[in-house]
């Protein structure tokens, strides 16, 4: 009885295998190591059968599966058609590589395996064989010194973070030290202006001592008025001697200005240096007062 059952089972298996037609083939004649290539597997079978194709857990040796693409079952009359394209990769170095994939016909008790015919593919050799006698140092090298343009990418998020940090740091520094920084620059400007005036005014006095001229005297007086206007923010250049006296109420300064005016407008041929040095002394005092005002402000 067991022999009869085995014979009937074998006949049933052969009958099912004959009813299922499986075809498998590569979609290319040659492949490269590590690059995906297609392999198509299809099956034609009676529509009342259930046919299952290999999934990603199946062994595709000597290949590895990269991904796959299924197609919808097509049924015409009593015949159904299924197909799948597997994208495989190979890391073997055999020149010719082969594979035969199956489909599985599902029965009540088990599955019947039906294989496609074996198909082969040719591996493209990208590296020529190097004789064993050639050392690594003597291997021929290909040198390419051509400039390769590389696109420059700006890291905008990082740029925004750095910019924001700089702005915040600047605000903190200004809040903490802004007053000192402002005083520093004001004092620096005051000292620079004073030193320049002092040098120019002393040179002008020396020129008058060498030889008096009304034009030089007027220029020297205007020089003093312009500096005082800049230092104290008062319109000295627009004021007469009387108006300056009413504004500052300094007898020594008023006397010096009157003496300079008399010399200029009387047509005298000489101007004493004393009133000019009185102007300089007054200016020195006002400069130091201004410095102390800025420091204590």
pLDDT at position 210: 86
Looking up tokens 């120019």, which residue turns up? 200
pLDDT of residue 68: 93
pLDDT, residue 230, reads 92
Strand pairing class (30-31; 119-123): parallel
Cis amide leading into 62 (omega within 30): yes
User: Does the model's pTM come out above 0.85?
Assistant: no
Distance CA 82, CA 134 (A): 53
Residues forming CATH 2.60.40.10 domain(s) in the chain: 2-125
Separation between Cα atoms, residue 170 and residue 176, nearest integer Å: 10
> Which CATH superfamily, name and number, covers 2-125?
Immunoglobulins (2.60.40.10)
pLDDT of residue 67: 92
For the chain of 297 residues, list the mean pLDDT of each consecutive stretch of 10: 40 58 93 92 92 91 92 92 94 90 87 91 74 60 71 83 92 85 90 93 89 87 92 89 84 88 80 87 92 88
Question: What is the structure's pLDDT at 10?
Answer: 42
Q: Which two tokens stand for residue 81?
A: 């058609």
């Amino acid at each position: 009885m067991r022999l009869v059952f085995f014979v009937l089972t074998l006949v049933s298996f052969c009958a099912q295998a004959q009813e299922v037609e499986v075809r498998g083939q590569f979609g290319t004649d040659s492949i490269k190591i590590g690059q995906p290539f297609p392999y198509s597997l299809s099956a034609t079978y009676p529509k009342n059968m259930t046919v299952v194709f290999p999934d990603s857990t199946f062994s595709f040796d000597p290949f590895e599966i990269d991904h796959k693409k299924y197609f919808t079952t097509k049924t015409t009359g009593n015949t159904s058609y299924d197909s799948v394209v597997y994208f495989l990769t190979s890391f073997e170095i055999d020149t010719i590589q082969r594979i035969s994939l199956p489909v599985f016909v599902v029965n009540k008790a088990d599955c019947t395996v039906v294989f496609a015919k074996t198909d082969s593919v040719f591996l493209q050799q990208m590296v020529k064989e190097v004789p064993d006698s050639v050392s690594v140092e003597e291997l021929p090298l290909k040198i390419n010194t051509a400039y390769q343009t590389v696109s420059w990418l700006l890291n905008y998020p990082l740029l925004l973070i750095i910019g924001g940090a700089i702005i915040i740091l600047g605000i903190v520094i200004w809040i903490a030290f802004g007053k000192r920084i402002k005083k520093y620059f004001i004092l620096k400007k005051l000292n620079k202006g004073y030193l320049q005036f002092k040098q120019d005014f002393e040179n002008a006095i020396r020129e008058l001592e060498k030889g008096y001229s009304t034009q030089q005297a007027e220029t020297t007086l205007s020089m003093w008025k312009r500096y005082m206007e800049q230092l104290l923010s008062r319109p000295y250049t627009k004021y007469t001697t009387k108006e300056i006296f009413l504004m500052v109420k300094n007898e020594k300064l008023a006397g010096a200005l009157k003496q300079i005016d008399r010399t200029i407008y009387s047509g005298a041929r000489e101007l004493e240096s004393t009133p000019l040095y009185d102007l300089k002394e007054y200016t020195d005092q006002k400069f130091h007062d201004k410095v102390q005002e800025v420091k204590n402000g």
